[in-house]
Chain A
Amino acid sequence: GENVEQHPSTLSVQEGDSAVIKCTYSDSASNYFPWYKQELGKRPQLIIDIRSNVGEKKDQRIAVTLNKTAKHFSLHITETQPEDSAVYFCAASLGTSYGKLTFGQGTILTVHP
């Protein structure tokens, strides 16, 4: 089955700096890669996603890049703010069932004012 590795496990940055979280996946057939933000005790919230036919996608301060050849994808957050502090999860799914997700281990992002 699919295996998703996520790094780093913790990331601490100063407000205004950029943050990058990287994930690799094992199954080359995976074709959907969402990123979720989860605050303590709450549900994961989708912040951005990318499909395998696209190399990069951007939404304001957040961007995701995908390298299908290397089987890795990354989340980029620019101009970080304290409210960006949370746990971020990458995920991958394959086939026609985009909802069947394999998650990475998570990254605890802390943005210091």
Chain B
Amino acid sequence: GAVVSQHPSWVICKSGTSVKIECRSLDFQATTMFWYRQFPKQSLMLMATSNEGSKATYEQGVEKDKFLINHASLTLSTLTVTSAHPEDSSFYICSAEPGQDVSNYGYTFGSGTRLTVV
């Protein structure tokens, strides 16, 4: 259980364009999803908490207008990187929180999306 799918696995885009990344919980309903960013050879940093049916909560220093998060259903959250620039190139990873007893789940991460902005 607790399978999280993320698409695409990698994407290359031109500067100034927007990229949408999807995070899906396949076998459970996720009331809350999390978006992390990982620069090369660095740790994971939480960007935002995505709550189904309400606005996302962004961590300090993360631009909400640049990283648009939508969590319209209990199984899907999307992260859109708007007007991407080379410094946005990173590994973006989501995770999902089951709305039930968490002791049976390991907070599986999605497979990640490698974004390269050229």
A69 to chain B, nearest CB (A): 24
Residues A66-113 near B (CB distance < 8 A): 89, 97-106
A56 to chain B, nearest CB (A): 17
Question: Secondary structure at chain B's binding surface: helix, strand, loop or mixed?
Answer: strand
Residues of B within 8 A of A (CB): 32, 34, 42-46, 49, 93, 95-97, 102, 106-112, 114
Known pairs A41-B114, A99-B95; list 10 more (Cβ under 8 Å). A42-B112, A43-B112, A46-B108, A89-B43, A97-B97, A98-B102, A100-B49, A101-B44, A101-B95, A103-B45
Given A97-B49, A100-B49: A106 touches B43 (CB 8 Å cut-off): yes
Contacts across chains A and B counted by CB atoms under 8 Å: 49
Contact: A44 with B97, CB < 8 Å? no
Q: Would you list the 7 A-B pairs with minimal beta carbon distance, nearest first?
A: A99-B97, A46-B106, A43-B109, A103-B43, A103-B44, A43-B112, A99-B107
